[in-house]
Amino acid sequence: MDWLDLKEATAPSALSGAPNADAVAESQLLEGLNDAQREAVLAGSGPLLIVAGPGSGKTRVVTTRIAHLVTQRGIAPWEILAITFTNKAAKEMRERVDRLIPPPEAEQGRGGGSWIGTFHSMCARILRREIDVLEGYTRDFSIHDTGDRNNLIKTIVKDLGFDPKQFRAPQIGSWISARKNRRGRDDGFELSDGSMEEDVFLAVEKKYRERMRQQNALDFDDLLLKVLEIFDHHHGVRDAYARRFRQVLVDEYQDTNRVQYRLVKHFASFHGNLTVCGDPDQSIYAWRGADIRNILDFEEDYPGAQTVRLEQNYRSTGRILEAANAVISNNTARKDKDLFTDGEQGERVVVIECGDENDEAREIAAQIRSHVARGGNYGDCAVLYRAGFLQRAIEAALRYDAVPYQVVAGLEFYQRKEIKDLVALLRLALNPADDVAFVRVVNTPARGVGDTSLARLAHFAQERGLSMANALGEADALNEIRGRAKKGLAEFAGALEELALARELDAAVALDVVLESLDVDRWLAEMDDGSGTADRAANVEEFRAFASDYDERSPEGKLRGFLEEVALVSDTDAYEGDEDRVKLMTLHACKGLEFRFVAIAGVEDELLPHERAVDEAADPDVAIEEERRLFYVGITRAKERLLVTYTTYRSFFGGGRPVLPSRYLRELPEAEIEGVGPEEREEEALGAFDPAKGAGAGLEVGAIVMHPHFGRGKIEQLTGAGINARATVDFVREGRKQLLLQYASLERLDR
């Protein structure tokens, strides 16, 4: 194994554990930690469970424990494996460790030499070294994302003679993924119902596995499963890693699935020093395979484990925490803890009943405006919801009130056509067996190669056991292809020869080789949808900058490492929290984030708990508890102000209907909430308007006014006070509108 070289294994600091002279002293490490945090950092050898509530400083505890292990306990940095769930969290952890244990300049950004990363990045790293013990794979394997997987499955469905409209690739892909992850279970469970549909799925799955092996490609599930396969069947490899890692730390342990659970068992199998940190109350990814039993049963799995609870919260006010504690205490699948704070009690949680989704959206927009008027920023605010379709009305209300916002959608940049094209070309440079990448870019730019010609080439390649790229090197490959397609494929074969030069280059230089092989202006022009090519060109430049940044951070990674990093970008890695815009996101996407003002919309019984999640669950009670945890996660994102809204009538796909408030609202403590129903909203609004003060000065019902956008209109109603003062105006052209007077810029015309 090239990574376990003798030089590193016998280095004096590795053997003696000599402390880093520049490292932060122990007293400084522990400074500012509370008693429970200190206990977790200083815990001795063996298994350790840290039950960490939201906002309890768990990242600081984990990184400080790593520093303590290195500086005080004689553990070399490269003998530590620390696993978390997002690249963003891993990067933050590495940076914090670097501050506590300053490494040599060449090691900056790498967590002092520790292995710190996600499960997928750690497994990809291991496979780059070990996959050749598995038949049919080489270290230059490609990593296929969900889109690549679905494209290959769609091709297989057609090849097998099935209707791709009846047997949809995303559905089959999800089924295959679920089967793969079930293989990590130890209870013998298999997804099987004996249906005809399942027979089709099984046939597709078999062919999918064959094609992936032929293409030397792995999907996200394979990254973990192939390492598990190696560890299960090649004990020498497993033991080398288990011996190397004297300390294993896993963050967000409540989000692990059974495959990850078994991997952790392997990593910690020799030394037995395993620290896991997590919170059963924040286990919200069962639909992705997460198994809450992993954390709930930790003390049974690891007898003699020490347990430390982090209950002091440094994020939210007392009233928000009381609301969170009251809700989650109704769950049974949990480890008891009560969040508390030494900070302020703060404002009550506001719960507002709204008429419909448009009324709800206007109320949320008004509350955000109020927050900003009180000295806050738009970037302090987040609107959370259980289902994505709720976003539409909220966006409309924010646009109407000119409130800047950002929909946190995660992977948008990497899903753009120009970026996926470049990634596919880079993948082909590294792995010519990658037929999915070949099919994507054979016409990039257009070369006149149609489906019929591609099908003939694919058939030729499969008959000879070759990839499509390698088949082009055969003298008779193009005999059955005519006209422009023949010329285009010959041209592409030449381009592939140029791409092969990029295999061992730095990422940015390799990308330059790809760009030089393209007629970039023509390529971008072919993608022009009428909006011009400037944005796409800027995206290409940004991608080039990412490659340069990667080369600086990881000079040894080359093209292979860069493609691995790009492939493993997750939803939350793309989140940018420094822009002054309201963030809109689902409750699942908000985990790990915090905001001064949080609005949770659509807290109704069909949406939270989500009707389908409960109806489709094997055990509805388990699903209701997970949905409650989702509400708890949303509540605990709020630092200062929390708004919860529900409607009495909501539009769904196919029509609208009356809805009921969520059962979880009845669990909120009455002393900590301020409930606002329609009567209170109307009374407050109508009774408080003062025409002599604020933005409404000089206005009255019946006045004729001019609006800069809506034109001339007549005031029908004035409500609210101060920053909440509103006017309902019937405009000649635009009809009836309700306006916040603070921002409406109304000019009276009838004086």
Is 58 annotated as belonging to a binding site? yes
Q: In whole angstroms, give the CA distance from residue 604 to residue 584.
A: 19
Is 55 annotated as belonging to a binding site? yes
List, as own/partner pairs, every contact residues 464-470 make where C-beta atoms lie below 8 angstroms and the sequence separation is at least 24, other chains included.
Answer: 465/214, 467/214, 467/215, 467/432, 467/433, 467/434, 467/435, 467/438, 468/435, 468/438, 468/439, 469/428, 469/432, 469/433, 469/434, 469/435, 469/438, 469/496, 470/432, 470/433
Is 379 annotated as belonging to a binding site? no
Active site annotation includes 353: no
CA nearest 635: which of 622, 626, 627, 644? Answer: 644
Is 452 annotated as belonging to a binding site? no
DSSP letter assigned to residue 699: -
Annotated catalytic residue, options 130, 205, 219, 251: 251
Active site annotation includes 282: yes
Tracing tokens 């430049």 back to the chain, one arrives at 541
Is 669 annotated as belonging to a binding site? no
Q: In whole angstroms, give the CA distance from residue 177 to residue 162.
A: 20
CB atoms within 10 A of CB 179: 16
DSSP letter assigned to residue 570: -
Residue spans of alpha helices (H) in 160-195: 169-182
Annotated catalytic residue, options 246, 315, 629, 637: 637
**Contact predicate 104/120, CB 8 Å:** no
Is 376 annotated as belonging to a binding site? no
**Contact predicate 744/723, CB 8 Å:** no
CA nearest 408: which of 387, 376, 382? Answer: 382
Annotated catalytic residue, options 63, 71, 118, 282: 282
Annotated catalytic residue, options 140, 222, 252, 291: 252
Active site annotation includes 232: no
Is 64 annotated as belonging to a binding site? no
Active site annotation includes 252: yes
Q: In whole angstroms, give the CA distance from residue 36 to residue 52.
A: 10
CA nearest 517: which of 496, 489, 537, 538? Answer: 496
Strands 247-250 and 217-219, how do they pair?
A: unpaired
Residues 535/538/539/545 CA torsion (nearest 10 deg): -170
Q: In whole angstroms, give the CA distance from residue 646 to residue 350.
A: 11
Annotated catalytic residue, options 59, 214, 462, 717: 59
Is 54 annotated as belonging to a binding site? yes
Feature table: binding site for ATP: 52-59
Write out the catalytic residue numbers: 58-59, 251-252, 282, 637
Feature table: binding site: 52-59
